[in-house]
Amino acid sequence: MTSPTAPAPTGAALLRDARRNRGSAFTIEERRAYGIEGLLPPGTATLEVQVARVHAQLAALSDDLQKYLVLSDLQARNEVLFYAVLMADPATYMPLVYTPTVGEAAQKFDHIFRATRGVYLPITAKGRLRELLANWPERDIRFIVATDGERILGLGDLGVGGMAIPVGKLALYTACAGVPPQMTLPITLDVGTNNQQLLDDPFYLGLRQNRVRGAEYDAFIEEFVQAVQALFPKCCLQWEDFAINNAAPILRRYRDAICTYNDDIQGTAAVALAGILAALRITGQKLTDQRVLFLGGGSAGTGIAELISEAMALDGLPIAQGRARNWLFDVNGLLVESRTDLSEFQRPFAHAHAPVTTFVDAVEAVRPTAIIGVSAVPKLFSRPVIEAMARINARPIIFPYSNPTSRSECTAEEAYTWSEGRAVFASGSPFPPVEVGGRRFIPGQGNNVYIFPAMGMAVLATQARRVTQPMFITAARAVAEQVTEAHLAAGLIYPPTSNILAASLHVAERIAEYVFAHDLAGIARPDDIAAHVRALAYKPVYTTEV
């Protein structure tokens, strides 16, 4: 990439500039003008032909990681073509650039490393973070996705390999909601790793030390935030895949001070709430009548429980009663008041109840209308659990949200089969259609992709000063309202990902309306918010000049 103020490159340098390179789409006249004649095969191709060629290349591969690498290489050499491919068929390519394939890419990051992307800030550079961050050539950065690599999906501590997640997330900011890619920046905060396998791996690219904790870690995060604020004052900072002991405190420390959010806590919560809201159109019940039991008591589970409670409060239920309708179950059993091992952020969901040590017994005790899995432990939504849910509810809501697919609490086939086709199902990773009892069900995917790209576009369109909980509730309702009766009849409770750009822009417009209405915007309200949002959306086309 080059600085916006630098002269456009020519010659071979132009072909190495991912933002300006057009490859075989350069015309003969352009090749002469830019000094690249003879550096390409003589034939020319339109963008449409280039997209078709990439589609054919990917179709010839059987391994998803190989497809991921082809797309990564494409992103490094021709950004327009990369996004044209993704946006031409998002349902096919989103699982390749993000979940579930990105999980394997993160695990093998050091062994498949090719072109670098983003900024790496090691804790050994403490005191110089602004200097390192200033090496990034773009100056109008509006979105940073930052990780410290400790809790990557459901895979745990992957150290510097966690960079695959910010890179993938920001690609979806653009592909799914039109956020201009030059305004995005992936960052890894390398504070070490406790994964001994990585420390022993000669190919490992991160700091070879155990993770830094405590006051030194907090000071490092503070210096990072201050550097971002100084260099990119209009930037929204998204925290990604931090471990539970850091995720909640970081969000609590900065959410009212800067424009920031945690996708694992708030984005996951919003997509889960959207799924619940759509599912209620099938069950015919009210949100305030739901009892939700979570498998997993960490930042994701408590984040979802809190957002559902706040949505219940907006529907008239006192917030304390809303929280009382949300129950959490972790490795030590049901969260109850008598437990002494709970963190402060878990306490609002520790209820007066006798201890329960198995999840199926928790289902019998709580009698939930919905179970949501955020445990990263596969198969814990067992047959007895699903059958108990089906006995308690005419239409049990079953959401195994853990990623990647290998960590899902159950499969779509298991949920539908064990509930005799009565489950209202959504999962974190995609599953193929299922036939049970002569009916064909299309499993919904409760992926944060319905939320975070739209939130990004809304922040861009409004220059919002903060990202608030009601903005996520607004996003959830905007996702749910796009689910049609035909979708519901097929068991689908999220809009099809094949139309994700239109869905995301709709959500962005709804969020933007809220931002302007509640005096959170940094710009004046436009006459037509929808037109304003859509005018900002990136389009993968070659411009008349490089």
Phi, psi for 375 (deg, rounded to 5): -95, -20
Q: 440: which strand partners? A: 435
DSSP state of 267: I
Phi, psi for 87 (deg, rounded to 5): -80, -15
10 Å CB burial of residue 526 (0-12, 13-18, 19+) is: middle
Contact by Cβ (8 Å): 369, 312? no
Rounded Cα–Cα distance for residues 477 and 303 (Å): 17
Annotation marks residue 169 as catalytic = yes
Q: Which of 34, 83, 93, 98 is catalytic?
A: 98
Rounded Cα–Cα distance for residues 262 and 75 (Å): 26
What CA–CA distances, in Å, run from 526 to 54, 312, 346, 512, 517?
A: 39, 31, 41, 10, 12
- Alpha-carbon dihedral angle through residues 280, 281, 286, 291, given to the nearest 10 degrees: -10
Contact by Cβ (8 Å): 365, 356? yes
Tokens of 126: 């403490």
Cα–Cα–Cα angle for 209, 213, 216, rounded to 5 degrees: 100
Q: 436: which strand partners? A: 439
Q: For the beta carbon of residue 517, count every other beta carbon within 10 angstroms.
A: 11
The candidate with the shortest Cα–Cα distance to 188, out of 216, 175, 207, is 207
Pairing of strands 326-330, 292-295: parallel
Annotation marks residue 98 as catalytic = yes
Rounded Cα–Cα distance for residues 169 and 99 (Å): 10
DSSP assignment of 475-522: HHHHHHTT--HHHHHTT--S--GGGHHHHHHHHHHHHHHHHHHTT--S
- Alpha-carbon dihedral angle through residues 192, 193, 196, 201, given to the nearest 10 degrees: -70
The candidate with the shortest Cα–Cα distance to 275, out of 296, 292, 262, is 292
Pairing of strands 439-441, 434-436: antiparallel
Q: Which of 68, 169, 450, 538 is catalytic?
A: 169
For residue 415, how far is the Cα from the chain centroid? 24
Q: For the stretch 439-464, what's the b/e string if a residue is b when 16 or more beta carbons lie within 10 angstroms of its beta carbon?
A: eebbbbbbbbbbbbbbbbbbbbbbeb
For residue 314, how far is the Cα from the chain centroid? 26
| Residues with catalytic function | 98, 169
